[in-house]
Amino acid sequence: MSQSDHSEMRIGCPECDTAINASVPPGPGIDEESHSHRLQGTEATCQNCGHELELYYY
């Protein structure tokens, strides 16, 4: 079995309230020493209604 470095999360679709499994790759996090706290993003699609969600993380 392979191990992924992505974080798995379940979020609710704002259109139909169906739980969506989303995967977010690791980011650099927030470093107090750095002044460039840049958000990264990914997309997920609800398998029930097709609504597209955008997920943002550090």
Domain extent listing, the chain: 7-57
So what's the pLDDT on residue 41?
A: 83
Q: pTM value?
A: 0.62
CA atoms within 13 A of residue 26's CA, in its CB half-sphere = 3
What region does 45 belong to: left with phi over 0, alpha with psi -120 to 50, or beta? beta
Q: Which 8-state DSSP code applies to residue 33?
A: T
Show pLDDT as tens, one digit a residue, over the chain (58 residues). Answer: 444 577 888 899 999 999 998 887 776 666 666 666 677 888 889 999 999 999 887 7
